[in-house]
Chains A and B, each alone.
Chain A
């Protein structure tokens, strides 16, 4: 029996709504979820973002459960439920008991922390809310996914800023390849729209007041998003045995660290991560048709990333379709790389590449095919999902299309 790792379930919460169907429809249409923020403090300069509009927690959780769930945990559980149901494993208690869950987050339970700090610092309350630690700890989402889904194998969280979800996915992949588990629920989640965190991002001067325009000449920075992306990974043998629908194969993971600057990306680190992913996957450069780029829309990232693609792919770089879906779902920090992995798996599955939305004209140093504004139907034999986080923590995931007789029917 084959020994690969395959994708059998997808789930997400994003600025495009609850669920994979709305997410994919929005991506393919290039319909950006970035919009003016409502109900925020007047002294915030950040006025736009990709929030989950119309989200009502009580539609997804009973009151008793909600009291223990920070917003970032809520998103994780909702997306995890969808992914497990999509994989046909929602009712399989024995499978869940053996499964792993690895959930990345860049921020943790900020909403909980900030509510408590507001009470302490601004309102003079002498005691913190007793649930501050269990709700706010970065691993809370992983614990809540475990509790709500009955997952009792290895469960933990990963934190690597904007690559947190990708590192979680790679950990799940490696645990399956090592024979530790047959099934791993992996992904990332974040809910960064709090006053303090928006102020902190504001101070970095990398957030756009306009919109997110990756690789465009007039790009002006990132736009924050929120949500969660969850993926069911499964050993190929386990998936085939139970006749699961398969979206794609997770063929390999490439991880590296710049060991350089805390915010500035380093082309060498990016190159190393991409080359490692190709090598681990047993793919050659010419097999890659699509790259879901990190593509933040900052001056520094988009140039460094483009340069790295030239160095790795040589003349094939011009044949690549490269798009940044952050233009649609925003930069959802720890969730971004997981949402982008979902997008990449669907691109491979459907043979349809989502565009870079909000694209105008190519920026200086950005001379590749960025699939501007319109989705493209094309065969995608293999694809990469790239994440290059603050702190120089890089993660690249390689997906390969799976023989059509086994593919998922969605």
Chain B
């Protein structure tokens, strides 16, 4: 599964009503993702990807694409060959 799909899935799991309504450019605020929901999504992604997301990443994510981008950087070179994205 691509990283982007994993992020989309995590967002949809936290905000079921957002399913199919957003793109990489969608601001998190537009999806009703406040700071508490954002850290919950990151928590699920940490578990799913078996990585630790540092606190400063949290400060830099404003839209869906930011999450994907940050995770790409965090997983680059690590043992996540099953990821394609």
Contact = CB atoms under 8 A, between A and B. Distances in A.
A and B bind: yes
Interface of A: 63, 67, 125-127, 129-131, 134
A134 B52 contact: no
A125 B52 CA distance: 11
B46 A134 contact: no
Contact of B36 (A125, A126, A130): A130
Contact of A127 (B16, B36, B52): B52
Nearest to A63: B16
17 contacts: A63-B16, A67-B40, A125-B47, A126-B52, A127-B43, A127-B46, A127-B47, A127-B52, A129-B40, A129-B43, A130-B36, A130-B39, A130-B40, A130-B43, A131-B36, A131-B40, A134-B36
Interface of B: 16, 36, 39-40, 43, 46-47, 52
A130 B36 CA distance: 8
A269 to B, nearest CB: 43
A109 to B, nearest CB: 16
A131 B36 CA distance: 8
**Interface of chain B, helix or strand or loop or mixed?**
helix
Nearest to B15: A64
Nearest to B16: A63
Contacts of B40: 67, 129-131
A127 B43 CA distance: 8
A58 to B, nearest CB: 13
A134 B43 CA distance: 15
Q: Which 7 A-B pairs have the closest CB atoms?
A: A130-B39, A130-B40, A130-B43, A127-B46, A127-B43, A129-B43, A131-B40
Contacts of A126: 52
Given A125-B47, A127-B47, A130-B36, 10 more contacts: A63-B16, A67-B40, A127-B43, A127-B46, A129-B40, A129-B43, A130-B39, A130-B43, A131-B36, A131-B40
A126 B47 CA distance: 9
Nearest to B17: A64
Contacts of A127: 43, 46-47, 52
Nearest to B35: A130
A67 B40 CA distance: 11
A327 B76 CA distance: 62
Contacts of B36: 130-131, 134
A82 B9 CA distance: 37
A124 to B, nearest CB: 11
A68 to B, nearest CB: 8
Contacts of B52: 126-127
A126 B16 CA distance: 26
A125 B44 CA distance: 11
A251 B41 CA distance: 51
A243 B13 CA distance: 48
A129 B52 CA distance: 13
A129 to B, nearest CB: 6
Contacts of B46: 127
Nearest to A126: B52
Contacts of B16: 63
A130 B16 CA distance: 19
A130 B42 CA distance: 9
Contacts of B43: 127, 129-130
